């Protein structure tokens, strides 16, 4: 965007500066959702276009517009929010003519004292000094008020600088009529802001209030009483709260931005400004919940597993701020108290990182349609609930601390239809929000949804019967594919040759085109292979009906997967889109062919197993795909070794997903058929974003350095996601690069720019705010043991691949030893016998032991190589909640379900039995137990299980008549049956994959799988939990 564009803001010359409109969008889930809501939702009806105020004709965008503009508001307009810097402590909830004074920041000792602050009467009269405190760093006054939002974001403007070759330059593509223009890249060169951020932050930022037991604690104010003078201001314009006039500016010598310069706003204020509260310095001085401060001797306390699902810790922020914070299901940090320095982080021996589920299905999501997306001019952060408003016209970035202007459009709040309350805009009230992106965020027209299916039709593939299930599921869901009238679809099949299908309008039936030269694949009739779904639906349906039968007589056993993928890539390059490839064996001919590397006898060894790809073909092709906005999802349905370590790269680097159906066979393994059908339905119909990029920003001083998940890191911190789906999770590691001195809080923001299936460019933004602490004890207090475990699991996958599995296992154990040693030596004042852990980390050894026993990292001969690799793929790609479930399953007793404490959802009663420890000790022979391990469930029925359960729930006359391979519960007309089925269905509904249910008894061959998940018990190759604790204790006490 040329610089000049900044000056030609829409509305700049007109009288209706607010052209924003807001949509309140309710995105309902389709049964696969997670039912979470974003906090702080608003439900007002919002007009699409509203005049700002009657006197808009008096606007002057040119000079010192602010004063006259505000004067024009008349007495009817109210400033509802105190400027940032004002405390909205509990007293502010009352409308009081004498606003409560703020307690000073306890950090104020750290601020160089300044003669210009705290002097009553020093404030110039209202209005005339509105712009007091402008500094050279600020934008010149008199300039456009809404310039900055029109700078194209850095998100879409990074040049494509992948290490990949850009194939578009060497191929000639034919674009189907109506398709988007062919471009090598839609990324345009970025515009770098040269502002020196460092100079902006050398001043004190803002305080915040810690809470005590999550109740607001107000501290007596040592502020001189005379400061209250002049604070009793009117409640409406033109009188301004005097605090506005004294807003300090970055870099202003001697200025203090202490909260004391501000005072309470004239009205009850539901949202405390972040910059307003005092900081207590250390939580250790406060009476937190006693539980959280407790040290636990793990060797003595056996019952540490909560009976309800473990919740994410609540960051220790003022409750009014925390109320606005991001939902932990979307954005979570391993340490909810951020250590102030890297030295402190090093001492804690805990990993610092973020876990994200950025595109999660949400039941409600505020969507903003605005011509102006307000972002920091320096660091491009989106305005969010944790910025501070210095006054109505300026806001301070919470990531780089630059002071930015509030654009004119932003002055109007379309939710309340009130002018002059930018702080109440939905962007400042919601930590999760989605923007409809204006045209600056596009370099080409948003791509249409394009879906290409690539099917293995070798003899082996046809034998599994998968094509029947896939074709039928696709046929059933064709109308539910996300998209619009531009949606395109195409099909390729392959064995030793590649088959294309012309679906050209006017044909009476699909035409198959066979290309046998797999050395140099060319695309025959490219314009007829990807066709408009709506216009050619009959031909497409025709093809899907005949496809399963077309190859039944084929004896071709070879698999030319590599050439087929090359063809798919060529076909998709002009538009981008999604390739779904179904593969059933090791690719054997053409580029990308592979050889078996699995040696069954060596499976036991943690060393020398083949976790690394044997060829870089799939990674290179994936990077080419990524460059052309194409993602590849791999469905591997195989009974034999297929080298997933190599094949998986095609999805990993193109931001696709891997699905694995081990030993899929429609007759021999019928339970897999249902799983594939259910998961494929979810896959086909779930939300999808195209040509996406994600950037994660954090407060200056913190640094993000390692990314986990399926994507390609395009520039240092820009993740390229040709497709984004609601079921993918990501993780990043961070370090503290510069001391966070004087920063009571830090923030993190992820921004995901994508094209919706309807062809809209959208940006989904999540912002999280966390406190900074200075003591080791506080760091431990805020530890999020699930997030830590999740991040360690991701790191362990990397370590397994780059070093060895045994290395990774050692590192996991050392993480426990090191952190508990540090806690013992640096935090505990009295050395006690036993193994002491902070309450927050009481489950850490158990979770790490669970990781060691998990399929990705376990030793022993039980696990096949592809299965291990697949589990590693899941670790990298699953949202934290599912990663935890597959690591440490939930165990419930289910033969005595009651309605006590049950949930009531849509007239269904969902029992909530307590979670039990994973030990056979907890099993009773007269009970039945459900183990929920995420993608699989086991129901173990004891020998002496009550006759009632056996007949009323299992529908069989006796224990001995329970079938060997029972995988379904009959729907019986009994209360017991209804409860049990309701519970299992409810568990299944909350995840995007379909867990198979195995009903087992003592004699079942699957009993060993069930017992393998009994994390607390000893297995043939792994320690019991108690033995593990003893081992840790021994190391800690060394
Ligand atoms: Zn900034």
The pLDDT-based confidence of 717 (bands split at 50, 70, 90) is confident
Strand order in the sheet with 915-916: 915-916, 890-893, 928-932, 936-941, 996-1000
Backbone phi and psi for residue 1000, each to the nearest 5 degrees, phi listed first:
-125, 155
Could you tell me the distance, in angstroms and rounded to a whole number, from the CA of residue 192 to the centre of ligand 1? 13
CA of 435 to the centre of ligand 1 (A): 18
**For residue 834, how far is the Cα from the chain centroid?**
38
Beta strands in 860-962 (DSSP E): 890-893, 903-905, 908-910, 915-916, 928-932, 936-941
When computed from its CA atoms, the radius of gyration of the chain, rounded to whole angstroms, is 30
Residue 92: predicted pLDDT: 29
| Dihedral pair phi/psi, residue 518, rounded to 5° | -90, -5
Per the model's pLDDT, the better-predicted residue between 179 and 725 turns out to be: 725
- The answer to whether the CB of 647 falls within 8 A of the CB of 443 is no
Q: Has residue 876 got a pLDDT over 50?
A: yes
Residue 540: its H or E element? helix 537-550
**How far is ligand 1, taken at its centre, from the CA of residue 375, in Å?**
8
pLDDT in tens, 633-648: 999 998 899 999 999 9
- Residue 404 C-alpha to ligand 1 middle, in angstroms? 8
Average pLDDT over residues 918-931: 96
Per-residue pLDDT band for 608 (boundaries 50, 70, 90) equals: low
For residue 450, the CA-to-ligand 1 centroid distance in Å is 36
Residue 70 above 90 pLDDT?
no
3-state secondary structure at position 631: strand
CA distance 931 to 644: 28
Ligand 1 centroid from CA 105, angstroms? 23
Q: In the predicted model, is pLDDT for residue 382 greater than 60? A: yes
C-alpha 765/C-alpha 788 separation (Å) is: 23
Compute the distance between CA of residue 403 and CA of residue 177 in angstroms, rounded to an integer: 48
Quote the pLDDT of residue 480. Answer: 97
Nearest CA-CA partner of 524 in 545, 501, 504, 541: 501
Q: How far is the CA of 376 from the centre of ligand 1 (A)?
A: 5
Percent of the residues in the chain that have a pLDDT greater than 90, as a whole number: 63
Calculate how far, in angstroms, residue 570's C-alpha sits from the geometric centre of ligand 1: 41
Between 720 and 206, name the one with better pLDDT: 720
* E strand segments, 77-121: none
Confidence label for 974 from pLDDT (cuts 50, 70 and 90): very high
Q: Which of 928, 918, 905 lies closest to 987, judged by CA?
A: 905
Per-residue tokens: 943? 């020998």
Arithmetic mean of pLDDT over the chain: 76
Q: Which residue has the higher pLDDT, 294 or 811?
A: 811
The answer to whether the beta carbons of residues 107 and 239 sit under 8 Å apart is no
**How confident is the model over 649-703, as pLDDT tens digits?**
999 999 999 999 999 999 999 999 999 999 999 999 999 999 999 999 999 999 9
- Quick one: pLDDT at residue 440? 82
CA separation, residue 437 to residues 339, 371, 429, 762, 943 (Å): 36, 8, 19, 5, 61
**Distance between start and end Cα atoms, the chain:** 62
CB 679 within 8 Å of CB 673: no
- Mean pLDDT of all residues in 349-360: 98
Rounded percentage of the chain residues whose pLDDT exceeds 70 = 71
The answer to whether residue 512 scores a pLDDT higher than 80 is yes
Token output for 389:
């408003």
- Please say if the pLDDT value at position 249 is more than 80: no
Q: Given the structure tokens 């805990």, which residue do they identify?
A: 350
pLDDT (0 to 100) of residue 568: 98
Does residue 540 have a pLDDT over 60?
A: yes
172 or 777: which leads in pLDDT: 777
Q: Is the predicted pLDDT of residue 243 greater than 50, yes or no?
A: no
Q: What is the pLDDT of residue 899?
A: 92
What 8-state DSSP symbol labels residue 449? P
Dihedral of alpha carbons 376, 380, 382, 388, sign:
negative
- Supply the pLDDT for residue 881: 96
Per-residue pLDDT at 349 exceeds 90: yes
- Higher pLDDT among residues 136 and 712, named by residue: 712
Q: How far is the CA of 102 from the centre of ligand 1 (A)?
A: 27
Please give the average per-residue pLDDT across 408-421, as a whole number: 88
Residue whose pair of structure tokens reads 């049990």 in the numeric block: 980
- Please give the pLDDT value at position 862: 73
Please give the distance, rounded to the nearest whole angstrom, from the Cα atom of residue 1004 to the centre of ligand 1. Answer: 60
Distance from Cα 608 to the centre of ligand 1, integer Å:
47
- Over residues 137-161, mean pLDDT: 32
| Dist. CA 402 → ligand 1 center (Å) | 5
- The reported pLDDT for the residue numbered 866 is 94
Hey, how many other C-beta atoms are within 10 angstroms of the C-beta on 14?
A: 11
Q: Does 100 score more than 90 pLDDT? A: no
- Pick the range with the lowest mean pLDDT from 283-297, 451-465, 569-583: 283-297
Per-residue pLDDT, 610 = 85
**What does the pLDDT read at residue 1002?**
87
Instruction: Output the CA 378–ligand 1 centroid distance in Å.
Output: 5
439: CA distance to ligand 1 center in Å?
Answer: 22
pLDDT at 290: 57
CA atoms 369, 375, 377, 378: torsion sign: negative
What's the pLDDT tens digit per position in 293-328? Answer: 789 999 999 889 999 999 999 999 999 999 999 999
The first and second tokens of residue 546, run together, are: 């005949």
**What is the CA(338)–ligand 1 centre distance, in A?**
20
Using the mean position of ligand 1's atoms as its centre, give its distance from the Cα of residue 990 in Å: 37
Confidence at 1020, pLDDT banded by 50, 70, 90: confident
Q: How far is the CA of 195 from the centre of ligand 1 (A)?
A: 10
CA distance 425 to 20: 11
- pLDDT confidence of 291, banded at 50, 70, 90? low
Rounded to the nearest angstrom, the distance between the alpha carbon of 1002 and the centre of ligand 1 is: 61
Mean pLDDT: which of 143-157, 200-214, 750-764 is highest?
750-764
């Amino acid at each position: 965007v040329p610089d000049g564009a900044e000056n030609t803001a829409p509305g700049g010359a007109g009288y209706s500066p607010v052209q924003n409109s807001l949509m309140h969008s309710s995105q309902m889930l389709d049964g696969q959702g997670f039912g979470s809501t974003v906090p702080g939702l608003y439900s007002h009806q919002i007009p699409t276009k509203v005049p700002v105020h009657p006197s808009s004709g008096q606007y002057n965008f040119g000079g010192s517009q602010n004063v006259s503009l505000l004067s024009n508001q008349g007495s009817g307009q109210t400033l509802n929010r105190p400027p940032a810097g004002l405390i909205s402590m509990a007293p502010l909830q009352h409308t009081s003519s004498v606003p409560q004074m703020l307690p000073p920041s306890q950090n104020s000792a750290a601020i160089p004292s300044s003669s210009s602050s705290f002097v009553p009467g020093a404030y110039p009269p209202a209005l005339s000094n509105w712009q007091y405190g402008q500094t050279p760093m600020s934008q010149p006054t008199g300039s456009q008020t809404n310039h900055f939002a029109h700078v194209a974001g850095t998100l879409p403007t990074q040049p494509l600088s992948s290490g990949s070759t850009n194939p578009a330059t060497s191929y000639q593509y034919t674009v189907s009529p109506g398709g988007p223009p062919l471009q090598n890249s839609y990324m345009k060169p970025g515009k770098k802001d040269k502002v020196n951020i460092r100079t902006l932050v050398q001043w004190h930022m803002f305080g915040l209030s810690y809470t005590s037991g999550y109740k607001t604690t107000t501290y007596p104010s040592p502020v001189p009483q005379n400061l209250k003078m002049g604070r009793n201001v009117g409640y409406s314009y033109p009188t301004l709260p005097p605090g506005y006039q004294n807003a300090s500016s970055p870099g202003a010598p001697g200025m203090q931005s202490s909260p004391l310069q501000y005072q309470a706003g004239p009205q009850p204020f539901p949202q405390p400004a972040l910059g307003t509260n005092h900081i207590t310095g250390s939580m250790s001085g406060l009476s937190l919940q006693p539980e959280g401060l407790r040290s636990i001797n793990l060797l003595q306390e056996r019952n540490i597993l909560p009976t309800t699902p473990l919740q994410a810790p609540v960051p220790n922020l003022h409750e009014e701020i925390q109320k606005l914070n991001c939902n932990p299901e979307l954005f979570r940090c391993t340490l909810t108290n951020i250590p102030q320095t890297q030295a402190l982080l090093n001492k804690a021996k805990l990993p610092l990182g973020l876990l994200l589920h950025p595109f999660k299905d949400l039941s409600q999501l505020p969507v903003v349609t605005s011509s102006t997306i307000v972002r920091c001019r320096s660091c491009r952060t989106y305005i969010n609930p944790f910025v501070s408003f210095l006054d109505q016209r300026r806001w301070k970035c919470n990531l780089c601390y630059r002071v930015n202007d509030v654009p004119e459009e932003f002055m109007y709040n379309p939710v309340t239809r009130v002018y002059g309350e930018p702080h109440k805009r939905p962007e400042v009230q919601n930590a999760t929000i989605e923007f409809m992106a204006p045209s600056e965020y596009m370099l080409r027209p948003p791509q249409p949804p394009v879906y290409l299916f690539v099917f293995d039709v070798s003899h082996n593939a046809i034998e599994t019967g998968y094509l029947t299930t896939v074709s039928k599921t696709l046929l059933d869901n064709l109308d539910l594919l996300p998209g619009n009238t531009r949606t395109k679809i195409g099909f390729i099949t392959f064995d030793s040759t590649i088959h294309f299908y012309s679906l050209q309008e006017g044909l009476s039936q699909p035409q198959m085109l066979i290309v046998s030269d797999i050395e140099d694949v060319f695309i025959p009739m490219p314009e007829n292979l990807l066709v408009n779904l709506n216009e050619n639906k009959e031909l497409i349906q025709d093809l899907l009906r005949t496809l399963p039968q077309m190859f039944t007589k084929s004896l071709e056993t070879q698999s030319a997967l590599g050439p087929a993928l090359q063809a798919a890539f060529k076909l998709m390059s002009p538009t981008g889109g999604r390739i779904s490839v179904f593969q059933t064996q090791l690719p054997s001919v053409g580029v990308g062919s592979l050889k078996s590397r699995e040696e069954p006898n060596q499976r036991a060894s943690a060393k020398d197993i083949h976790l690394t790809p044997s060829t870089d073909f799939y990674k290179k092709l994936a990077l080419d795909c990524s460059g052309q906005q194409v993602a590849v999802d791999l469905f591997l349905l195989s009974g034999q070794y297929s080298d997933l370590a190599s094949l998986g790269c095609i999805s990993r680097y193109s931001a696709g997903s891997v699905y694995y159906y081990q030993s899929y066979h429609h007759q021999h393994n019928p339970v897999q058929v249902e799983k594939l059908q259910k998961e494929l339905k979810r896959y086909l119909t779930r939300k999808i974003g195209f040509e996406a990029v994600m950037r994660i920003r954090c407060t200056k001083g913190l640094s993000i350095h390692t990314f986990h998940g399926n994507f390609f890191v395009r520039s240092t911190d820009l993740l390229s996601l040709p497709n984004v789906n609601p079921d993918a999770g990501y993780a990043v590691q961070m370090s503290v690069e510069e001391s966070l001195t004087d920063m009571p809080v830090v923030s993190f923001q992820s921004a995901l720019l994508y094209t919706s299936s309807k062809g809209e460019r959208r940006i989904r933004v999540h912002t999280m705010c966390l406190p900074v602490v200075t003591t080791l004890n506080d760091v431990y207090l805020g530890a999020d043991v699930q997030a830590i475990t999740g991040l360690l699991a991701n790191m362990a996958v990397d370590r397994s691949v780059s070093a060895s599995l045994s290395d990774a296992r050692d590192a996991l154990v050392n993480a426990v030893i090191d952190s508990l040693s540090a806690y013992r030596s640096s935090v505990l004042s009295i050395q006690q016998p036993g193994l002491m852990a902070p309450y927050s980390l009481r489950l850490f050894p158990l979770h790490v032991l669970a990781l060691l026993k998990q399929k990705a990292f376990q030793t022993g001969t039980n696990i096949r190589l592809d299965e291990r690799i697949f589990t590693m793929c899941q670790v990298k790609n699953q949202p934290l909640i599912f990663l935890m479930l597959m690591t440490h399953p939930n165990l419930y007793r289910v033969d005595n379900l009651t309605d006590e404490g049950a949930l009531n959802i849509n007239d269904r009663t969902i029992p909530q039995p307590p979670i039990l420890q994973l030990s056979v000790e907890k099993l009773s022979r007269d009970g039945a137990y459900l183990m929920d391990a995420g993608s699989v469930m086991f129901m173990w029925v004891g020998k002496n299980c009550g006759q009632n359960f056996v007949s009323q729930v299992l529908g069989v006359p006796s224990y001995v008549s329970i079938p060997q391979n029972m995988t379904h519960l009959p729907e019986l007309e009994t209360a017991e049956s209804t409860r049990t089925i309701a519970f299992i269905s409810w568990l299944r509904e909350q995840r995007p994959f379909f867990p198979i249910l195995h009903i087992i008894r003592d004699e079942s061959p699957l009993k060993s799988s069930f017992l393998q998940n009994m994390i607390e018990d000893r297995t043939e190759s792994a320690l019991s939990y108690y033995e593990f604790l003893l081992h840790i204790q021994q190391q800690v006490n060394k």
